Structure 1
Amino acid sequence: MLDIRALVERVGPALLRTVISSEASTVAGDVVIAEPGEPTTATGGDLVLGVGITEAEQALRLVRECGERGVAAVLLKPPAAGLDEVVASVREAGIALIEVRQGTAWAQLVWLIRAALAGGIRQTEESGVGVTDLFRLADAVADVVDAPVTIEDAHSQVLAHSARQDLTDPARISTIMGRKQPDDVLAKFRARGTFRQLTKGSSAIFVPAQQDGTLPRLVVPIRMGGELLGSMWAVVPGPVSEERATAFADTAPLVALQLLRWRAVADVQRRRSAEQVRLLLEGGEGWRAAATELAVPNEQHRVIAIEMPSSDEPAEGQRLAMWEWITRGIGRRPLVTEIGSVLYALVPDRARGGGWPELRQALLSHELSPRPLIAVGTSVPVTDVPRSRAQADELIGLLRTGLVRQRVAIYDDLWHLLVLSRMAGAATDAGVATLGPLPVLREHDRAQGTEYQATLHAWLRHPGDPRQASRELRVHPNTFRYRMKRIGQLVDVDLDDPDVRSALLVQLLAERWAQHG
């Protein structure tokens, strides 16, 4: 038996979505199939699958029967799952309503739910046999197609490969050794339209041999519920018979089920890891236990904060894509979590093995779109991780204002801007903007359209160097000198006094930062 919420999480969002949760019965015991026109045999605690039910009347009849029998939940496909009258009837019956994604095969769903109810997914999670099962499955598929096989995810990462290596080439060796298809190999397959065919079809695709010595491939997409989960690649000596290609393609649904189980396990582990990373970032009680569970090495670490800009793509989808990207192919995977709209990674400050320098190079060398805001705190011991996170958060704030434009804002390089930001904030709170001669210049700029405050700021930044100050303002040096002369006529201020210059600079900085805050 399993809590319905946990069941939906383990089977995965690619197949199931909770429409209505039930307060009365939240534990599922078995799966029962209900067909149109047939009375259900379900009893209390069962999950009832409305196979073939598309009409409102059929769905309402099933919901009433299920409510009377005290079932745990009804599972329906669209459009029945989204009909207002069906949703209202489910609420009245006091049961749960789960939407089954279009394209999901009922037989596969029954197999996967029963595996979850029987503890298959939990057992896989605890025993660590999920990956082993994938390798065994790769061996079985290799026997079917009579060729070496790799099972890859949607990002061309190798999840498993068959043991047999009787037919191989440099591309396969590089793929297995690097745990993903090399970029140059991917480019060649893309140029042939292989990946375009994968996204559209479901049958086996034959890719002929290439001039660089890459042997022919037979490729099959792995789908579930309309989602492309990955692909299988078999190295073959040449064209394959239709019967064998069909047999190869027929193994895809079974691999899809195993991939969903594997992904469900990975999701559970990732969520647990994310909870522990959050404890480390926030400090307080429990951080030592979290560090122990995560096996965080006793060395210096940095916190990286990543925020995706607004776009047409849902923010959650962008962050998940970034999550997968940041944890792929860089030594030991960084420890990652989400807090609010920000993604955080905890990275060792070491030269190799997934350390900060390696990750920094990756962040700088990849042009990401849309471009995220990336900020990095200073190097700290594990006991002081919250301080590095606070610095990264401050830098993210500066990136949002546009005052900092670096692709990756690093505390070690920009600490002085945090000093100015804090100082400006304190000065603003103290009301220093109303003191001295600046209100006169501010009002003159507003009324006359002049730029005397900006001119004074440039002079204070470059004292005794009118040429540099004028270049900053993008005006002629004579124009700059004239403006400074007019400022002297408008206000009585002793710019030779270092304390006066310091006070004016604090005021101007406070105003500038407040405008961008």
Structure 2
Amino acid sequence: MVTVQGVVDRVGPTMLRAVHAAAAPQSVTDVVIAEPGRRNVIAAGDLVLGVAVGGRKDAVDLIRHSRGAAGVLLKQPQAGDKEVLNAAKEAEIAIVEVRQEAAWAQLVWLLRAVLDAAADDESDGDVEQFGDLFRLADAVAAVIDAPVTIEDANSRVLAYSSRQDRTDPARVSTIMGRRVPDDVLARFRSRGVFRQLSKGRSVIFVPAQRDGTLPRLIVPIRMGGELLGSMWAVVDGEVSDERSAAFADTGPVVALHLLRRRARVDAERMRSAELVRAVLSGSTGGRTAAAELGLDEQPHRVIAIDAASEDAADAEGVRLALWERMTRGVGRRPAVADLHGVLYAVVPDKGWTQLREVLSTGEPLVAAGAPVALTDLPLSRSQADETLALLRTGLVGTRLAGYEEVWSSLVLHRVAAASKASGVAELGPLAGLKEMDLDTLYQWLRHPGDPREASRALRIHPNTFRYRMKKIGEVVDLDDPDVRLALLAQLVTLKWA
């Protein structure tokens, strides 16, 4: 396992700085977000993130509550406050300063990546020279004599070397965001960098740009013709052929490591997905699977996300992006499974508000079942499925909804589905009306006694609305309340089925 200082070293000075070391350093095992107004359960080896710390008193209280943890991460001014440091000394806990510009959500993802890399190092005893990607990045940086990032094929940062203080704002943004920012990607794409990567060039040199971006030397990481990722070195200028060749020679070593890492991650993801499927199906081993996934007894929701795409590569990219966004939303790896183009996640109900905000900015449809006990997760899944089916119709005018929020629309949808098979809409005078008359009648029935609101829904003038209704009244007896109810049932069937 890795210590607090080891975590700080791997994350680097652009985001973290150790300000107080514990007398007896611990191995770090997990990351815990200190939530406002709630006492988290803190275990030995936890790194506690003071996200909600608002002042000296909050910081001191958090440190005292976190006694026994590996360390507490705070921003200034709390990280340098004397009373805070004295409390840390009494609690025998390390204090790490988080740089002011660092985003907490990004830091959570980065810390988990560091801990994963450390776990990989322990479980992979045959990799002695390059125990993890961060040490591998340092070794490559020594070869090229320049700071290096190792990125996957989707431009997400997997690891980076030390000496990043010798880089530029684009590199700092890349490391802090754990992926190349969109504007930086656009600039490199316009220069044909990614086209050259896909064509198999061994080394690519990108000169300095007018916006202050320093030169880059890029090496594709390939294995068996497949592009696994790339290495990016920030250099001072033109690089000699010898240095370029030495940089390129490190590619096969990195490729082996990425393949090994991907196989391990894929195996873990498949195992996790199997457990999630067991939980969602309500099988006999569901409770055991829930325990293995780390789901506690608090209420959970099942989230269903429409991640289907005709392009398989695009769909995989969407799923990975959603996985990362969900992790930011719940502060840990979510329990996720992909079934028939739908991405299911089991998340604590208390984290739904924050996760909802994270997921609301994307394109995919997102539906949430109601919060339930672990034994009732199959029910929450069926509710999420029904809500997702409703969102797909486009009738509710939103891309994200919870089951309990759209109950009235679900009632109409169920009624319409049941009525359609019986041919309800084919009875009476409805078939003789034009489509615009059906829309007019539907809004008139929805807004009884309020022609202005009905005409506003149709985006027509109130006089036009009244004229249409006069014509409809010549065909249909609208004075009969039973007729109005029957017409509404028919129109609901046509609109919602």
Normalising by structure 1, report the TM-score.
0.63
Q: Which residue of 2 aligns with 1:252?
A: 251
The structural deviation recorded for 1:266 is 0.9
Amino acid at match of 1:332: R
445, 457, 469: which is aligned to 2:454? 469
Determine whether 1:444 maps to 2:432: yes
Picking from 497, 507, 512, the partner of 2:490 is 507
- Give 1:378's aligned residue: 370
How big is the shift at 1:177? 4.0
Cα distance per residue 1:31-86 (max 9 Å; x no partner): xxxxxxxxxxxxxxxxxxxxxxxxxxxxxxxxxxxxxxxxxxxxxxxxxxxxxxxx
Code of the residue aligned with 2:145 in structure 1: it is D
Say whether the 8 Å CA contact 1:444–1:450 is kept in structure 2: no
Q: C-alpha distance in 2, partners of 1:327/1:459?
A: 45
Q: Which residue of 2 aligns with 1:418?
A: 410
Is the Cα–Cα contact under 8 Å of residues 335 and 345 in structure 1 kept in the other structure?
A: yes
Look up the match of 2:203. Answer: 204
Alpha-carbon distance in structure 2 between the residues aligned to 1:190 and 1:450: 49
Seen in structure 2, the aligned counterparts of structure 1 residues 147 and 422 have a Cα distance that, compared at 3 Å, is same
Within a 5 Å distance, the mapping from 1:35-434 to structure 2 comes to 127=123, 132-163=131-162, 167-210=166-209, 214-308=213-307, 311=310, 313=311, 316-328=312-324, 330=328, 331-350=331-350, 355-366=351-362, 368=363, 372-428=364-420, 432-433=424-425
After TM superposition, the structure 1 stretch with the greater mean CA deviation from structure 2, 283-292 or 207-216, is 207-216
Bigger mean CA offset, 326-335 vs 460-469:
326-335
2:444 equivalent to 1:459: yes
Q: Distance in 2 between matches of 1:341 and 1:512?
A: 26
Corresponding letter in the other structure for 2:385: D
Q: 1: distance between equivalents of 2:239 and 2:439?
A: 74
Residue 140 of structure 1 deviates from its aligned partner by 2.7
Residues 139 and 485 of structure 1, relative CA distance in 2, 3 Å threshold: closer
Q: 2:144·2:244 contact (CA, 8 Å) conserved in 1?
A: yes
The alpha-carbon deviation at position 336 of structure 1 amounts to 1.9
2:53 corresponds to: none
Instruction: Give distance in 2, aligned partners of 1:476 and 1:277.
Output: 53
Distance 2:357 2:176 in 1: 22
The count of corresponding residues between Structure 1 and Structure 2 is: 372
Contact 1:374 1:409 (C-alpha < 8 Å) held by counterparts: yes
Instruction: Between 449-458 and 262-271, report the one with greater CA deviation.
Output: 449-458
Q: Percent identity?
A: 60
Q: Is the CA contact 2:383–2:403 (under 8 Å) kept in the aligned structure 1?
A: yes
Q: Which amino acid aligns with 1:277?
A: V
| Cα pair 2:121 2:132 within 8 Å, conserved | no
Distance (Å, rounded) in 2 between the aligned partners of 1:167 and 1:493: 78
Q: Does the C-alpha gap of structure 1 residues 433 and 186 become closer, same or farther in structure 2, counting only changes over 3 Å?
A: closer
**How many Å separate the matches in 1 of 2:489 and 2:292?**
47
Q: How much has 1:322 moved relative to structure 2?
A: 1.6
Shift, 1:126, TM fit: 8.7
- Distance in 2 separating the partners of 1:450 and 1:240: 70
Give the 3-state SS of the residue equivalent to 1:384 in structure 2: helix
Distance 2:145 2:439 in 1: 75
Does the 8 A contact of 1:303 with 1:346 survive in 2?
yes
Gapped regions of structure 2 (runs ≥ 5)? 1-118
> If the length of structure 2 is used for normalisation, what is the TM-score?
0.65
- CA distance in 1: counterparts of 2:134 and 2:435, whole angstroms: 72
- Is contact 1:440-1:491 (8 Å) kept? no
Describe the SS at the equivalent of 2:324: coil
After superposition, what is the alpha-carbon deviation per residue over 1:177-214, rounded to whole angstroms, capped at 9, x for unaligned? Answer: 44333445444434444333322342222333455654
CA contact (8 A) 1:142 1:234 kept: yes
Q: Whole-Å Cα distance in 2 between the matches of residues 388 and 264 of structure 1?
A: 32
Q: Report the equivalent of 2:109.
A: none
Partner amino acid for 2:333? R
After superposition, the C-alpha distances for 1:307-337 in whole angstroms (9 at most, x for unaligned) are 35664x2xx4343222111122634333321
1: CA distance, partners of 2:288 / 2:435? 60
The amino acid that maps onto 1:397 is A
Matched to 1:390, the amino acid is S
Question: Compared with structure 1, are the counterparts of its residues 318 and 204 closer, same or farther at alpha carbon in structure 2 (3 Å cutoff)?
Answer: closer
The answer to whether the 8 Å contact 1:202/1:249 transfers is no
Superposed CA offset, 1:192-247 (max 9, x none): 44333322342222333455654433211111232221111223333321111111
> Partner letter of residue 428 of structure 2?
V
Question: 8 Å contact 1:421–1:513 — kept in the other structure?
Answer: yes
For 2:336, the aligned partner's letter is: V
User: 1:279 & 1:450 partners in 2: Cα distance?
Assistant: 47
Q: Which has the larger radius of gyration?
A: 1
**C-alpha displacement at 1:405, in angstroms?**
4.0
Letter in 2 for 1:240: V
**Residues 309, 373 of structure 1: 8 Å contact kept:** no
Q: CA RMSD in A?
A: 3.3
Alpha carbons of 1:310 and 1:183: their partners in 2 closer, same or farther (altered >3 Å)? closer
Gaps of 5+ in 1: 1-122
Question: Quick check: 1:308–1:318 contact (8 Å CA) kept in 2?
Answer: no
CA contact (8 A) 1:441 1:453 kept: no
